[in-house]
Amino acid sequence: MTPMADGVFHGSTPTPDPSFETVLAEFERHLRLERDLSPHTIRAYNGDASALLGHLRAAGHERLAALNIAVLREWLGEQHQAGRSRATLARRSACARVFTAFCHRRGWLTSDPGLLLGTAKAPRRLPTVLSQDEAKAVLDRSGAGRTRPSDPRRSSDAQQHSDAQQHSDLQQRWDAQQHSDSRPYSNPRPRSDPRQSWDPRPRSGSGQRSDAPDSIAWQGSGIPASANATAMPIGTNASASPSSEEPPLPQEPPAPHGPRNTGAPLAAGDPRELRDTAMLELLYATGMRVGELCGLDVDDVDRDRNTLRVLGKGRKERIVPFGLPALRALDAWCVRGRPLWIREGTGPALFLGVRGGRIDQGTVRRVVHARLAEVEGAPDMGPHGLRHTAATHLLEGGADLRSVQEMLGHASLATTQIYTHVSIERLRMVYRQAHPRA
């Protein structure tokens, strides 16, 4: 390990004329270990650096020392002629500066040409947001009228048998828990267990959970959350072969008699519906990024204070509040939905897929697009659109810009200022109230 002029150990002793492949490998290591950037940023910067070195090689240069300001400007000019957006050019300019500075520190470049490179100003487009009425319509939509897709691989008799078996297994576990624990609503797992259950009861003044049964504990089945915390793979679904789509699973204990209607509207206790509703409520209530939502664990939720512990960009942790509708949706999902999807190896993730793993960003995006499509007149947007909407509605409601910045996790206040464009009505109202000649 060799210390350089900036006091950082940069790995092995630098070679005077490294290959392009070596440079890229060392650059990736620098981004990952020394700068601790996110995987998305590392992938983007690596791709840009590879494209830059490819351009250098296409110009007939096999040595890194040939990289200068003329080559950088020529490379960016080709990107502009190819129709790249100004935002893309700005990012690639930033990557070029990081890359040339890294190579200069390593001694591979005698000077840093990136210092002479300008930055293309990316246009600041106004984000598309939902109106408050549209946001309310999206979040207030119930499961009525939405149908569960039928599963052609299983007959209704097989589904009925599997559902009945699931109900029997859950009931037996609950009966055993009743005999072994004098506190039926206590959490049988220690807090350190990654598959811990959700305890929806508020704490008493002593800091302990109250023993009073909560009204939301597994409605309709008599099985509270503690019984489901120990849920293992149930029925035949735990061993089902994986497929590219989420297969419909038994969602809640069915009635003892009568076949399942696979084309019936989704019930209010359907785990997928409960999960989707909770995700939408949190996205709108907190304005968090989709990656931050997927990274939430059960322990990140503080029900006493109605706050979330969110790990944002640059591994920066922040505390974000949420309201009662989001809390009710979380309670419903964690008590009546999440336990049914716990499998062997399920970790502490707050939101799960039907196979018991942590939910991925693609699934969240599909859920948001599908829910918005059900509201007439609502613009099509992804989870980031709900982030824009939350910030805009906060400002419209009177929140100050600094508080919104803290809630969203923006490093710069200038990033948050873009949301002030929709607060023109509030600005006009303040003007009429304050200006003497309004």
User: Which residues are designated catalytic?
Assistant: 289, 313, 384, 387, 410, 419
β partners of residue 358: 352
Q: What are the backbone angles phi and psi of residue 98, rounded to the nearest 5°?
A: -65, -40
Task: Give the Cβ contact number of residue 316 at 10 Å.
Answer: 10
Task: Give the Cβ contact number of residue 365 at 10 Å.
Answer: 15
Which H/E stretch holds residue 307?
strand 307-311
H-state helical runs in 266-400 = 271-286, 290-294, 324-336, 361-373, 383-396
Nearest to 269 by CA among 329, 228, 357: 329
| Signed CA dihedral, 266, 268, 269, 272: sign only | positive
Give the position of tokens 């944002």.
Answer: 312
Alpha-carbon span 19 to 104, nearest angstrom: 15
Nearest to 35 by CA among 76, 94, 93: 94
Q: Is the separation of the CB atoms in 46 and 95 below 8 Å? A: no
Q: Is the separation of the CB atoms in 34 and 78 below 8 Å? A: no
Which H/E stretch holds residue 160?
helix 156-180
CB-based contacts of 154-159 (< 8 A; 24+ apart in sequence) = 156/259, 156/260, 156/262, 157/259, 159/250, 159/259, 159/260, 159/262
Alpha-carbon span 57 to 229, nearest angstrom: 58
Alpha-carbon span 342 to 301, nearest angstrom: 18
Is 270 buried (19+), middle (13-18) or exposed (0-12) by CB count in 10 A? buried
Residues 6+ apart with CB under 8 A from 402: 413
Alpha-carbon span 121 to 89, nearest angstrom: 9
Give the position of tokens 């597994």.
Answer: 218
